[in-house]
Structure 1
Amino acid sequence: MSLIAAALAVSLSAAVPTVEAQPAPTQTTFEGWINFSGQEFQLVENQNRYVTGARRPCVSGSLPRDLQRMSAQTIGRQKVRVTGTAMAWSSDLPGNRYEYQGSVLRNECGADFVILGTDISVIQ
């Protein structure tokens, strides 16, 4: 290998960025009274606030599209447990929305984070 080819190979290998492994998001459970609005849901922590119609403060979230649709039809105005991950909300998102597995999340609650849900169950 010529000296020029060796120098080029070394400089090319040095220019390739290394990717460090990122930890997987931690699954968390969120509990509250649920309201569905379009392709997202809102969780309200306090039952009294929910019953009286005070929907804020709340946390917006979404489930994968088919689970979101099914849940909106079968679960409503009940206390639920949502398993998922929290994602920091940014006003820099294109269209001020986030598409999560077919559902459009607009953060109607306006909180600093939203819930990307993977599972939902009613708490009896």
Structure 2
Amino acid sequence: MFRRTFWFTAGAAAGVWASHKVNQKLQRLTPESLAAQAADKALDAGHRIKDFALDVRAGMLQREAELDDVLGLNAPPEGPDGLPAARRPALEGERYPVMYRARQKYPEKYPKHPNNRNEDH
């Protein structure tokens, strides 16, 4: 008799445990639960992407500072009054000196007004 009671109790416990596990799995597969799981995973992915972007930004700033030091961009200006030296002016009356020289050499290839809208189209 004790043996039958033991196996009956063991079978009932296994049945309760199995039905509980099946119900848990079914609860996880409901549309609401699947939507909540997807939202949690999306939030987690968003946080990881944000952390990655912050790490990349920090690395960029560090590398930019290193390059500025190497190139001497952080050094004080060398002018007598503390201002950078003036730039060399372009040719008189021309914005683009290279185009000006090419226009002198090849006038048919580089017309005076290349963007004239009154031409035949």
Q: Which has the higher contact order (CA 8 A, sep 6+)?
A: 1
- Larger radius of gyration between Structure 1 and Structure 2: 2
TM-score range, shorter chain: under 0.3
Greater share of residues in helix: 2
So what's the TM-score if we normalise by structure 2? 0.26
So what's the TM-score if we normalise by structure 1? 0.26
Greater share of residues in strand: 1
